[in-house]
Amino acid sequence: MTSIDPLVRLRAEHGVELGEDAWIALVPEVMPDHATAMAALIDELPLAPESLVIFGKPVETPRLVSFHGDPHARYSYSGRVFDPKPWTPFLASVRERVREVTGTRFDCVLVNHYRDGKDAMGWHADDEPELGPNAPRDVLIASLSLGAMRRFVLRHRRRSEDKRALELGEGNLLVMGGATQHRWQHCVPRTSKPVRPRMNLTFRLVRR
Ligand SMILES: O=C(O)CCC(=O)C(=O)O
């Protein structure tokens, strides 16, 4: 019997086709013990605000950040180059869980910790050239969310009124594939509602 590629199966069972070769799949309950996992990662990782350069000015991220990966997986965004910190034991086990679900061994992860509704992520796409030989037209991202649900919004780059809102948290996994980073941007808006902490781990492939 031939085995089906896990990504083909995820896309068939949970996928939303966005057109123009862009697709996403939202997989529920990938990490049912997500609150315990988040607490373990808060203990284990050196989470801290990151200083980025936005429109030529240094700005601190409104969230805590930690970037980890294999030694070759250097990554640049917002005017900075990030050298990966090593995989920690619990983080490596989370990567293994994402590999089981996606069939992909990602080589780095950006961890974002949103302490409350004031912590957020602005509009952007994960379209850096190091994300694969066919970036940004074919980029695979697996985004695991732990803790509270937060709204995650996608908007089409040319038709900005074309938006899709998802709730990400409680151990669900959003896989973004194909031309999603090329055609769409995404954000996690601030909210004035009281929200519990949330953590998001975006697993990426920075090819050698
Ligand atoms: O927190 C999220 O769901 C989004 C994270 C994200 O957009 C990123 O790490 O690039």
3-state helix, strand, coil in the chain (%, to 5): 20, 40, 40
Q: Give the strand order in the sheet containing 150-156.
A: 121-124, 184-188, 150-156, 163-168
Is 62's pLDDT higher than 70? Answer: yes
Predicted confidence band at 6 (pLDDT cuts at 50, 70, 90)? Answer: very high
- Does the pLDDT value for residue 2 go beyond 70? no
Q: Which tens digits make up the pLDDT trace of 131-153? A: 877 888 999 999 999 999 999 99
**Summary mean pLDDT of the chain:** 94
- The two three-digit tokens of residue 124, written as one number: 């952007």
Per residue in 86-137, pLDDT (tens digit) is 999 999 999 999 999 999 999 999 999 999 999 999 999 999 888 877 888 9
Q: How many Å lie between the centroid of ligand 1 and the Cα of residue 2?
A: 35
CA 121 – ligand 1 centroid, Å: 7
Measured in Å, residue 160 CA sits from the centre of ligand 1 at: 19
CA-based radius of gyration for the chain:
16
Residue range 7-21, pLDDT digits in tens:
999 999 999 999 999
Q: Which residue has the tokens 């949970």?
A: 14
75 within ligand 1 shell (Cβ under 6 A): no
Our answer on whether the CB atom of 126 is closer than 6 Å to any ligand 1 atom is yes
pTM (2 decimals)? 0.95
Q: Which atom of ligand 1 is nearest to the CA of 143?
A: 3
pLDDT at residue 47 above 90?
Answer: yes
Q: In the CATH scheme, what is the code of domain 6-204?
A: 2.60.120.590
pLDDT value of residue 1? 60
